[in-house]
Structure 1
Amino acid sequence: MWRALLLVLAFWAAPARADLAYVLNSGDATISVVDTQTRAEIRRIPVLREVHHLVVTPDGRSLVVGDSGGNELIFLDPESGAVQRRERISNPYHLEYSPDGRYLVVASLRRDQVDIYEAASLNLLQRFRQPDKPSHVAFSPDSRWAFVTLQGSGQVAAVDLEARQTAWVQDVGPEPAGIIWHRGRLIVGLMGREDFVALDPSTREVRIAFRVGRGAHTIFPGPDGRTLYATSRVESRIAEVDAETLEVRRIFEIAGGPDCIAFDSEGRLYATLRWTGRLMVLDPATGEHAQIRVGRSPHGVFVMPRRPGLDAAFAFQFPGARSGTRPMEAPPPPGLAALDGYVPAVPVTPVRVEAGSPTSRLRAPWR
């Protein structure tokens, strides 16, 4: 009995292994694996051609990377980065599993198609031709609907996953990209403007939600459930947004074109910087930040916790879980109607994040 107790105590007393960050380098056909403790790249995984986005399988056992140029899915062990298997698939640019785990929906930017696959078998169930450049995918919490942004035509398409048909297509603005389900509405970034817009899927009404800067791109719920983080690639910013009111609280000025975002189990934010080939680490609570050199044109990113009690599904367990893949519905807050007329000015409490160098503190405010 004492021996068993000692083994248990030794297990919990042992230092936790460093988290791993996976960064998809679309410009040089590799995946960087980064040790988050030493903040150093520890290996690169070669791919065929051009990786952009990634997602975790419903069982949490695989990290699935879409090689859109190579027409391939790469399944990785999220604990080690080992390649588990590769599957041929048509142009997987953006990919998401439905919340119930039944479907894998793939947006094919170059081939103007949206594909629905059976998640378990990867059998193609339905292919939809879309007007121009299907870009990003989000779901309704009940898995009935998939919503796809169409960059080329400035629209969002609603796909009925049960009927397997496109139910409607709605104009939202120029070059829509990132999309999430958020408290009964869809929040969409417009790369052709500086706005994120809110689309009501019931009435198809479109209103400005908030502004972050030119090249408004993608949006990610933070782990506290009270914050959203939205990126602007052209203005080179990350906006910290109140999840209830959609008010912009802070703007982080970040050179390098921030794109995709992930969070570690301590709440730190990891953002890929497309134009400078770096991964930025930012602690929103303390202002500490650092940059890590990775490959060319880094795009998608995922942080895998490697400590007792956490697994790859941790990213979907907190209140603000990524609603692109695992939407976690919450009742609309009392003041949601304020969204309709509220457009905060930009910048709002701007904060400069200096490029380069080791960990330092943010300077705020900066003008």
Structure 2
Amino acid sequence: MTRFLRPLLCVLGLAASLAAVAQTQPIFVLNSLDANVSVVDPTSGWTESRRLPTGKEPHHLYMTPDERSVIVANANSDSLTFIDPRTAQVQRTVMGILDPYHLRFSPDMKWFVTAANRLNHVDVYRWDGRDLQLARRIPTGKTPSHIWIDSRSTTAFVTMQDSDELVAVDLPTQTLKWRVKTGPMPADVFGTADDRHLLLGMTGSDHVEVWELGAAEPKLVKRITTGAGAHAFRSAGDRRHVYVSNRVANTVGKIDLQRMALVDTIPVPGGPDCMELVAGGKLLLVTSRWSRRLSVVDTETRQLVRQIPVGKSPHGVWTLDHVRP
């Protein structure tokens, strides 16, 4: 009897993991090769309820500072799609934003920065609460990838995926402050709360680089081996830990920011890419880029709870019911 009860208890435990999370807001998954967004409804069995058309190649998304819109950046259509994060209704489309692969607001809500992955530039916009005004277009290295902005809203840090560089942009003057060489194919960049360190995912290798800030130029102080294809970060919300997806290794690692060390590794299949952490921190949402799935992981049991079918090449994922960084 025991060997029959164990699988049943496992299934019941996974169901309880989902039921224990008070997730009510829709989950948005960007399907980069389908030019649409999957809307996953956690109140009706965690299933895809519908798809919203966007422009071509939606890769990343970001919430407006007033939390009234989530912005989807459509890289190959040179546009932004604004979506209501509560009703999942498209609000408006803004055209003329050249190649917005990655995007980010400054904490003071004055600046909006995009990385043009195919056009090799970074755009700095002024934001008045509704509309964007281009302040300056800054030529960079090859294939700008991901952006991080410091807590003082003075500097944007951008990785260059194909020239293996990290650059710093001074936001008030919209000029380059410095550039340094990195390891192979730097992707996402994550800054610690005290603005002392930057972490870079080396997608072309198996580690995270740790750069120390404070001097005229940053200093590489450590490499943390996490797994092949180290790619994207998601804060655990406790100011101490950050998750990193290892796309080739099919794992998600957990880094202790005080020790700058890997403290856990969780198997996640299908080429884990972008991540979102549901409010309460129990469920980690991971886009499985190569298997057209949204993977849901219980962070306490370290188990895969379920995989939800979505579209082609799922990339960005987000929900309003998320852990605050």
**Is TM > 0.5 for Structure 1 vs Structure 2?**
yes
* 1:248-297, Cα deviation, whole Å (9 max, x unpaired): 12211222000000011131110000000000111111334111111110
Cα RMSD of the aligned pairs, angstroms, is 1.4
- Whole-angstrom CA distance in 2 between matches of 1:157 and 1:257: 27
Once the two structures are overlaid, the 10-residue window that deviates more, 32-41 or 267-276, is: 32-41
Q: Find the partner of 1:23 among 4, 25, 29.
A: 29
CA shift, 1:44, in A, is 0.3
Q: Distance in 2 between matches of 1:283 and 1:224?
A: 17
Question: 2:40 matched to 1:34?
Answer: yes
Is the CA contact 1:195–1:208 (under 8 Å) kept in the aligned structure 2? no
Alpha-carbon shift at residue 109 of structure 1 (Å): 0.3
**Aligned-pair CA distance for 1:315:** 4.3
Partner of 1:111 in structure 2? Answer: 119
Q: Which of these residues, 139, 144, 157, is aligned with residue 149 of structure 2?
A: 139
In the superposition, relative to structure 1, how do residues 168 and 84 fare at CA in structure 2: closer, same or farther (>3 Å)?
same
Structure 2 gaps, min length 5: 1-21
User: Counterparts of 1:18 and 1:140 in 2: how far apart (Å)?
Assistant: 31
Deviations 1:141-176 (A, max 9, x none): 100100000011111000001121001001111110
Return the match for 1:293 from 309, 312, 323: 309
Helix, strand or coil at the partner of 2:76: coil
Q: Which residue of 2 aligns with 1:148?
A: 158
Q: Which is richer in strand? A: 2
| Counterpart secondary structure, 2:260 | coil
1:280 aligns with 2:295: yes
Q: Deviations over 1:55-94 (max 9, x none)?
A: 0001111100000011110000000111111001111100
Is residue 257 from structure 1 mapped to residue 271 from structure 2 by the alignment? Answer: yes
Mapped to 2, the partners of 1:261 and 1:282 lie a distance apart of 10
Pairs within 5 Å for 1:53-72: 53-72=60-79
TM-superposed deviation, 1:226? 2.9
In structure 2, what is the Cα distance between the partners aligned to 1:246 and 1:207? 10
Large movers: runs of 4+ above 6 Å: none
Q: Identity, % of aligned pairs?
A: 36
Task: Give the distance between the partners of 2:233 and 2:222, measured in 1 at CA.
Answer: 14
Q: Kindly state the Cα deviation for residue 17 of structure 1 after the two structures are TM-superposed.
A: 7.1
Equivalent in the alignment of 2:110? 102
For residues 189-226 of structure 1, give each alpha carbon's deviation from its aligned partner in whole angstroms, at most 9, with x where no partner exists: 11111110011232311133411111111111113333
Q: Deviations over 1:81-110 (max 9, x none)?
A: 111110011111000000100010000000
The residue aligned with 2:249 is 235
> 2:79–2:100: 8 Å Cα contact kept in structure 1?
yes
**1:129 counterpart = 2:139:** yes
Tell me the distance in 2 between the aligned counterparts of 1:112 and 1:91.
Answer: 9
Give 2:91's aligned residue: 84
- Aligned counterparts, 1:217-232, within 5 A: 217-232=231-246
Give the letter for the 2:88 counterpart.
G
Q: In the alignment, which residue of structure 1 is the partner of 2:187? A: 177
Q: Which moved further from structure 2: 208-217 or 60-69?
A: 208-217
Which segment drifts farther, 234-243 or 107-116? Answer: 234-243
Is the CA contact 1:94–1:107 (under 8 Å) kept in the aligned structure 2?
A: yes
Q: 1:17 to 1:172 in 2, by over 3 A?
A: closer
8 Å CA contact 2:86–2:320 kept in 1: the answer is yes
Partner SS for 1:123: strand
Residue in structure 2 matching 1:196, options 208, 214, 223 = 208
Match of 1:333 in 2: none
**SS at structure 2 position matched to 1:69:** helix
- In the alignment, which residue of structure 2 is the partner of 1:351? none
- What's the counterpart of residue 213 of structure 1? 227
> Could you say which structure has the greater relative contact order, defined with CA pairs below 8 angstroms and 6 or more residues apart?
1
More deviation in 198-207 or 292-301? 198-207
Gap runs ≥5 in structure 1: 1-15, 306-313, 322-367
State the alpha-carbon separation in 2 of the partners of residues 17 and 299 from structure 1.
21
Code of the residue aligned with 2:24 in structure 1: it is A
The corresponding residue for 1:361 is none
Q: Give the letter for the 1:62 counterpart.
A: S
C-alpha distance in structure 2 between counterparts of 1:200 and 1:281, whole Å: 33
TM-score, structure 2 length as denominator? 0.87
For 1:177 and 1:304, how far apart are their aligned partners in 2? 24
